[in-house]
């Protein structure tokens, strides 16, 4: 028979009962975190959920947290903008997909006639864009 656990956040109301598999699924979905407490029969007080379920999964990623991605390089962004800017590739690199698609379509659908406008747009972006689409500064 599986054990029954109850969970709560500090100062919150208890929820449950849950089995261990359900708690692990909840941890994967980010519904539980390091502040979550659990209780089961036989314990004298509420305990941190981290004593029951480790904060990392089998891949070493912290449960409930998006994977940490390193910052994109500003130098790479500039070089890509210089050589492939009229196709919007530098914006795809920085995560600005919409701007990249617009620049790509402007160049392709105009058969290159709007390339000069996209080029000016790229020069402005080279001078002004300092962070990617997620708000992480380009290093």
DSSP assignment of 42-53, as one string? T-SS-EEGGGTS
Of 51, 66, 89, the one marking the end of a domain is 51
| C-alpha–C-alpha distance, residues 118 and 126, integer Å | 12
**Average pLDDT value for the chain:** 85
Domain count, the chain: 2
In the prediction, which pLDDT does 96 show? 95
Determine, yes or no, domain membership for 16. Answer: yes
At 63, the pLDDT band (50, 70, 90 cuts) reads low
- Quick: pLDDT tens for 18-33: 888 888 888 877 788 7
Both 9 and 47 in one domain: the answer is yes
- Quick: pLDDT tens for 100-112: 999 999 999 999 9
Whether the predicted model's global pTM rises above the 0.75 cut: no
Range of the domain at 36: 5-51
**DSSP state string for the chain:** ----EEEE-TTS--EEEE-HHHHHHHHHTTSS-TT-EEE-TT-SS-EEGGGTS-SB-TTSPBTTSPPP-PPPPHHHHHHHHHHHGGGTHHHHHHT-HHHHHHHHHHHHHTTTTTHHHHHHHHHHHHHH--B-TTSPBP-
Determine, yes or no, domain membership for 138. Answer: no
Both 78 and 47 in one domain: the answer is no
Determine, yes or no, domain membership for 114. Answer: yes
Both 46 and 79 in one domain: the answer is no
Picking from 15-19, 56-60, 73-77, which range would have the lowest pLDDT averaged per residue? 56-60
Both 79 and 121 in one domain: the answer is yes
The 10 Å Cβ neighbour count of residue 41 is 8
Instruction: Please give the residue that has the higher pLDDT: either 36 or 92.
Output: 92
Determine, yes or no, domain membership for 116. Answer: yes
At 139, the pLDDT band (50, 70, 90 cuts) reads confident
Determine, yes or no, domain membership for 28. Answer: yes
At 1, the pLDDT band (50, 70, 90 cuts) reads very low
Determine, yes or no, domain membership for 81. Answer: yes
The 10 Å Cβ neighbour count of residue 86 is 21
Determine, yes or no, domain membership for 85. Answer: yes
Determine, yes or no, domain membership for 118. Answer: yes
Both 78 and 124 in one domain: the answer is yes
Output the CA angle 127-129-133, nearest 5 degrees: 165
């Amino acid at each position: 028979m599986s054990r029954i656990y109850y969970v709560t956040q500090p100062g919150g109301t208890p929820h449950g009962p849950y089995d261990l598999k359900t708690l692990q699924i909840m941890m994967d979905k980010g519904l539980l975190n390091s502040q979550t407490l659990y209780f089961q029969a036989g314990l004298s007080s509420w305990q941190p959920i981290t004593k029951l379920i480790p904060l990392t999964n089998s891949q070493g990623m912290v449960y409930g947290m998006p994977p940490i991605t390193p910052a994109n390089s500003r130098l790479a962004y500039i070089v890509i903008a210089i050589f492939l800017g009229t196709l919007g590739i530098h914006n795809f690199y920085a995560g600005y997909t919409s701007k990249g698609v617009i620049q790509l379509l402007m160049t392709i659908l105009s058969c290159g006639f709007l390339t000069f406008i996209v080029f000016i747009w790229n020069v402005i972006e080279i001078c002004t864009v300092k962070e990617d689409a997620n708000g992480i500064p380009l290093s």
